[in-house]
Amino acid sequence: MNIALLGFGTVGKGFYDLTVGREDVKVTAVLSRRPREELTCLVSDDFHEILASDVDIVVEVMGGLHPAYEYVCEALRAGKHVVTANKWLMCEYYQELVKLAKENGVALRCTAAAGGGIPWLTNLERVARFDSIYKVEGILNGTTNFMLDAMTKNGSDYGEILAEAQRLGFAEADPTADVEGYDARRKIVLSANIAFGVDLKEADVACFGIATVSAADIAAFTERGLVCRLIASAEQAADGSITATVEPTLFPAAAAEAAIVSSGNRVVLYAKHIGEQSFSGAGAGGWPTGSSVLCDCLNILDGCRQFYTDQFTPASAAGNALRRYYIRTSAPLSVAVEESLGSGIVTAPIPAAQAHRMIAALRAEDNTAFMAALR
Ligand SMILES: NC(=O)c1ccc[n+]([C@@H]2O[C@H](COP(=O)([O-])OP(=O)(O)OC[C@H]3O[C@@H](n4cnc5c(N)ncnc54)[C@H](OP(=O)(O)O)[C@@H]3O)[C@@H](O)[C@H]2O)c1
């Protein structure tokens, strides 16, 4: 199959490397805004020239919403299969793009969009066909895991670790999407929609990141035998309502999450008959992510045309799940307190949605306020 590659950055280059020497899938055209002397195939900055060439699959690894959305729509309408690693695009337009792919009789795959090199979405899709998944959650952002792990190991402060993560290439120059939890939020939206057959949007996920965690918080957790990780989670109650959150979460040091170090990912599904299944590995990087993209292409070559889900049952994101929260703030707090922990307190169990409303209000008064759920 001939492949058109839109974007030749980390993932695009990683994917390209994996196709070199293969006979079954071949990159025959690359959309690039700059010359690529190293490539012998068609290289153009004109998407229409790329689309008009003899290609079967369009691989979108440019990122961003626009023009990725317009290019993917045009490719589907032109009868091309599409593979993308773009979580933002798939999170925002999943329902519309699936409909368009169906109408045009082509495949649309995005395994790399959540979990990078981990075959997470394909396993959710597999299990959702024969079992009832009621919870998906895990460490879905490598940057914040690197930072929390390093803070725990070195006792360093947030600012120092962020600078170190940027120097080592684990964090981008603008780290907002990672440290505020937005990247993990897009991945859990995609995961929840596939797992539960619903159509959650980013706004349905209560999101609090790690931007205000301090060395003193981490030291107090360590003294208590607790380890902090950024957890994206979605669980569906018996009444169908969903609690979807991204939040720092404290685990006992012996928990599997605590063993995920550096930029690793670990994600878990819980289903009625098969119980718990966990997946861990490289959630990012050119070759791991490129491998998931390649696997999608090979599945299309083998005739796969199904979508992860085409069920879009409306769901209420009520946020009713009860959790205990560590909260540290200098602003006045009005919540039932169970105990103190370092310079913060631990609340009695409260609905997750309430905790997130509370921390948003606290942060308006005290922009250093921090919160973490306890497991
Ligand atoms: N990096 C990872 O490990 C990873 C993991 C999972 C998913 N993803 C997803 O994969 C996608 C790509 O990520 P990445 O890390 O590979 O990004 P990247 O390194 O920034 O590469 C993006 C590439 O797309 C090109 N591009 C962007 N807009 C373009 C446009 N309008 N026309 C032509 N080319 C354009 C860029 O060209 P210039 O060089 O000219 O700017 C660059 O070559 C994103 O959706 C990301 O969320 C990434």
The H or E element containing residue 78 is: none
**Residue 73 located in a structural domain:** yes
**Residue 299 located in a structural domain:** no
Which atom, in ligand 1's list, is nearest to the CA of 87? 47
Residue 302: pLDDT above 90?
Answer: yes
Query: Does the beta carbon of 8 sit less than 6 angstroms from any atom of ligand 1?
Result: yes
* Average pLDDT estimate for 187-214: 97
Which residue among 80, 109, 138 closes a domain?
109
- From 119-123, 284-288, 307-311, the region with the lowest mean pLDDT: 307-311
| Residue 337 confidence class, pLDDT cut points 50, 70, 90 | very high
**Residue 38 located in a structural domain:** yes
Q: Ligand 1 test: best mutation among 6, 32, 36, 62, most atoms within 8 Å of CB?
A: 62
Query: Does the beta carbon of 116 sit less than 6 angstroms from any atom of ligand 1?
Result: yes
Which CATH number do you get for residue 45?
A: 3.40.50.720
Residue 35: pLDDT above 90?
Answer: yes
- Ligand 1 centre distance from Cα of residue 178 (Å): 16
Query: Does the beta carbon of 33 sit less than 6 angstroms from any atom of ligand 1?
Result: yes
135 shares a domain with 45: no
**Residue 303 located in a structural domain:** no
Told to judge if 99 belongs to the known catalytic residues of this protein, a careful annotator would answer no
335 shares a domain with 217: yes
- Ligand 1 centre distance from Cα of residue 10 (Å): 7
Query: Does the beta carbon of 106 sit less than 6 angstroms from any atom of ligand 1?
Result: no
- Ligand 1 centre distance from Cα of residue 61 (Å): 5
Query: Does the beta carbon of 18 sit less than 6 angstroms from any atom of ligand 1?
Result: no
| Residue 315 confidence class, pLDDT cut points 50, 70, 90 | confident
pLDDT of residue 311: 85
Q: Ligand 1 test: best mutation among 5, 10, 59, most atoms within 8 Å of CB?
A: 10
Which CATH number do you get for residue 140?
A: 3.30.360.10
Residue with tokens 């997750």, as numbered in its chain? 352
Which residue among 60, 88, 109 closes a domain?
109
Nearest to 247 by CA among 201, 193, 192, 205: 205
pLDDT of residue 258: 98
| Residue 314 confidence class, pLDDT cut points 50, 70, 90 | confident
Alpha-carbon distance of 343 to 330, in angstroms, equals 10
Alpha-carbon distance of 344 to 333, in angstroms, equals 11
pLDDT of residue 62: 98
183 shares a domain with 54: no
**Residue 228 located in a structural domain:** yes
Query: Does the beta carbon of 10 sit less than 6 angstroms from any atom of ligand 1?
Result: yes
146 shares a domain with 92: no
**Residue 296 located in a structural domain:** no
**Domain residue limits at 40:** 2-109
149 shares a domain with 257: yes
**Residue 23 located in a structural domain:** yes
191 shares a domain with 282: yes
Distance of CA 246 to the CA centre of its chain: 10
What predicted TM-score, i.e. pTM, was given to this entire model?
A: 0.97
341 shares a domain with 209: yes
253 shares a domain with 215: yes
Which residue among 73, 89, 109 closes a domain?
109
Give the gyration radius of the chain's Cα atoms.
21
352 shares a domain with 248: yes
| Residue 230 confidence class, pLDDT cut points 50, 70, 90 | very high
Active-site hit among 13, 80, 87, 187: 187
Query: Does the beta carbon of 29 sit less than 6 angstroms from any atom of ligand 1?
Result: no
- Ligand 1 centre distance from Cα of residue 45 (Å): 14
Q: Ligand 1 test: best mutation among 16, 31, 33, most atoms within 8 Å of CB?
A: 33
pLDDT of residue 289: 97
**For the chain, how many structural domains are there in total?**
2
Residue whose CA lies nearest to ligand 1 atom number 44: 63
319 shares a domain with 222: yes
Residue 229: pLDDT above 90?
Answer: yes
Query: Does the beta carbon of 86 sit less than 6 angstroms from any atom of ligand 1?
Result: yes
Alpha-carbon distance of 99 to 168, in angstroms, equals 41
Which atom, in ligand 1's list, is nearest to the CA of 45? 33
Distance of CA 368 to the CA centre of its chain: 25
How does the average pLDDT of the chain come out, rounded? Answer: 97
The percentage of the chain sitting over the pLDDT mark of 90, rounded to a whole number, equals 98
- Ligand 1 centre distance from Cα of residue 8 (Å): 7
**Residue 307 located in a structural domain:** no
Nearest to 227 by CA among 329, 312, 151, 126: 151
- Ligand 1 centre distance from Cα of residue 300 (Å): 22
pLDDT tens profile 79-132: 999 999 999 999 999 999 999 999 999 999 999 999 999 999 999 999 999 999
158 shares a domain with 59: no
For 64-167, strand residue ranges (E) read 81-84, 108-109, 133-139
Query: Does the beta carbon of 66 sit less than 6 angstroms from any atom of ligand 1?
Result: no
Residue 261: pLDDT above 90?
Answer: yes
Residue 226: pLDDT above 90?
Answer: yes
Which atom, in ligand 1's list, is nearest to the CA of 286? 3
Query: Does the beta carbon of 129 sit less than 6 angstroms from any atom of ligand 1?
Result: no
pLDDT of residue 132: 97
Alpha-carbon distance of 185 to 207, in angstroms, equals 7
pLDDT tens profile 156-197: 999 999 999 999 999 999 999 999 999 999 999 999 999 999
251 shares a domain with 149: yes
